[in-house]
Amino acid sequence: LSEKLQNVFKNLRSKGRLTEADVKTALKEVKMALLEADVNFKVVKQFVKDVEERAVGQDVMNGLNPGQMVIKIVNEEMVKLMGSETAEITLQPGKAVTVIMMTGLQGAGKTTTAAKLAGKFKQKGKKVLLVAGDVYRPAAIEQLQINGQKQGVEVFSMGDKNSPVNIAKAAMEHAAKNDFNIVIIDTAGRLHIDEDMMAELIQIKENVTVHQTVLVVDAMTGQDAVNVAKTFDERIGIDGVILTKLDGDTRGGAALSIRAVTGKPIFYAGMGEKLSDLEQFYPDRMASRILGMGDVLTLIEKAQEDFDEERAKKIEQKMRKNEFDFEMYLESMSQMKKMGGLSSILGMMPGLGMGAGKMPDIDEAAAEKSLSRTEAIIYSMTPEERQNPSLLNPSRKRRIAVGAGVDIAEVNRLVKQFEQMKKMMKQMPGMMKKGRRGGGMF
């Protein structure tokens, strides 16, 4: 999607001024791109209409660059489409227990996401109970137990001989007796929407007080995800959606349509298989991501979770001022593993992310090996050289190569890569300077 849109915008950019007809032509292409990205047809129609109304209106008459104006409006309307604000799973006040039921089709990511969520709530100081309510899928209970253990969260299970309703009821008693704040019920899915599944979910809701019914859908299924959301909302009523596998979604169709079709917010986005790969869903960042700008803010935020605030701030500041140096390069490398590996990082870099539709296939082991050679090279530099790479003349480079036990060509390559990276960062000054809201991206 993003590649297509970028072309449309490139054409707009190259024109000085736009006529109404130009806006119409551009929007026709936007429309095609959205449809190809599997965005719901009705949503596309309304979207294009909204953008056109604004673009052909007085804004463009204002003497602004019309190309910029259209991009800005498309971005803003995308944000609006996805709900504008971040949405949270609503918790009961104080220490009262909140019951969250995970629903969705088989393989959508319910069990994984239940454990991811449990970890998030635990981090916030909540006492969380995971409930193994999928008694059909072989090994479903064990999967939840393993994940619960990884998160340090208790898992309530009664094996697979009891009905999910009875398990849920017993879990509630257990939670009340032991002062749990949050109960997350994992449920069974089917490959397709079917009556038994719906009946079971309704039955659970009739027997225990479910405060938040969360639907888990696979972003990669595009339109299907939207249809599933619509049906679940009509049948059992959902409070919000968690969109999983956004890391593998190259189109963005589900993300763009779900809110508009169901009226329900997207709470979180699943960004990978690891239990830490769950991110708050930010409509503005998602819009930028879809527009192919990459999501540097999420990258920074993820970094903040892993290293201490101060270091992250320093890096952010340096990035803003374009003072990226080898010291930071070293630091960011050593944090990379913690942050979920190379592929996860690259996915967030502008031009490489989901929008571009070509997530690089990375040989992690080889990449790691080359990382440690890179580290060795940087360690062989003096602090001055790290902070001021322009000092690196041939004789210094030779000394460094000897120190690191590598060929001088490798040192040269690293310096070159570093310059490229720096250049790339320079190319997104708008993003860096204008700060946090998506509207400022352009």
Q: What residues are designated binding site?
A: 104-111, 186-190, 244-247
User: Which residue is nearest to ligand GDP, using beta carbons?
Assistant: 270
Tell which residue, 183, 172, 191, 245, has the closest CA to residue 214: 183
Q: Can you spell out the DSSP letters for 170-237?
A: HHHHHHHHTT-SEEEEEE---SS--HHHHHHHHHHHHHS--SEEEEEEEGGGTHHHHHHHHHHHHHT-
Q: Looking at beta carbons only, is 38 or 385 nearer to ligand GDP?
A: 38
Q: Is 110 in the site for ligand GDP (CB under 6 A)?
A: yes
> Which 130-159 residues touch Mg ion, going by CB under 5 A?
134, 140
157 binds, among ligand GDP, Mg ion, none (CB under 5 to 8 A by kind): none
Contacts of 368 (CB under 8 A, 6+ apart): 337, 342
- One-letter-per-residue 3-state SS of 396-438: HHHHHHHHHCCCHHHHHHHHHHHHHHHHHHHCCHHHHHHCCCH
> Which 185-224 residues touch ligand GDP, going by CB under 6 A?
189, 216
> Which 277-316 residues touch ligand GDP, going by CB under 6 A?
277
Going by the DSSP 8-state scheme, the letter that residue 92 receives in this structure is P
Radius of gyration of the chain (CA): 25
Give binding residues for GTP as ranges.
104-111, 186-190, 244-247
Contact of 131 with 168, CB cutoff 8 Å: yes
Q: Is 142 in the site for ligand GDP (CB under 6 A)?
A: no
Residue where the block lists tokens 């009875």: 166
Q: Shortest approach of ligand GDP to residue 344 CB, angstroms?
A: 10
Q: Shortest approach of ligand GDP to residue 144 CB, angstroms?
A: 9
Q: Please select the residue that binds ligand GDP; options are 67, 148, 252, 272, rule is CB under 6 A.
A: 272
Q: Looking at beta carbons only, is 216 or 241 nearer to ligand GDP?
A: 216
SS3 content of the chain, % helix, strand, coil (to 5): 60, 10, 30
Q: Is 266 in the site for ligand GDP (CB under 6 A)?
A: no
Query: CA angle, corner 271, sides to 366 and 352, nearest 5?
Result: 55
Q: Is 221 in the site for Mg ion (CB under 5 A)?
A: no
Q: Is 366 exposed, middle or buried (0-12, 13-18, 19+ CB in 10 A)?
A: exposed
Q: Shortest approach of ligand GDP to residue 111 CB, angstroms?
A: 3
Q: Please select the residue that binds Mg ion; options are 111, 262, 288, 332, rule is CB under 5 A.
A: 111
- Report the distance separating Cα 72 and Cα 85, nearest Å: 18
> Segment contacting ligand GDP (CB under 6 A): 167-175, 243-251, 351-359, 407-415?
243-251
Q: Is 187 in the site for Mg ion (CB under 5 A)?
A: no
Q: Please select the residue that binds ligand GDP; options are 52, 154, 239, 247, rule is CB under 6 A.
A: 247
Q: Is 273 in the site for ligand GDP (CB under 6 A)?
A: yes
Q: Please select the residue that binds ligand GDP; options are 75, 103, 244, 374, rule is CB under 6 A.
A: 244
> Segment contacting ligand GDP (CB under 6 A): 68-76, 101-109, 196-204, 289-297?
101-109
Q: Is 104 in the site for ligand GDP (CB under 6 A)?
A: yes
273 binds, among Mg ion, ligand GDP, none (CB under 5 to 8 A by kind): ligand GDP
- Alpha carbon of residue 198 to chain centroid: 29
Buried b (16+ CB within 10 A) or exposed e, 297-330: bbbebbbbeebeeebbeebbeebeeeebbbbbbb
> Segment contacting Mg ion (CB under 5 A): 127-135, 201-209, 236-244, 405-413?
127-135
Q: Looking at beta carbons only, is 98 or 143 nearer to Mg ion?
A: 143
The first and second tokens of residue 289, run together, are 């991501």
> Which stretches of the chain bind Mg ion, using CB under 5 A?
110-111, 134, 140
Give me the residues that bind ligand GDP (CB under 6 A), please.
Answer: 104, 106-112, 189, 216, 244-245, 247-248, 270-273, 277
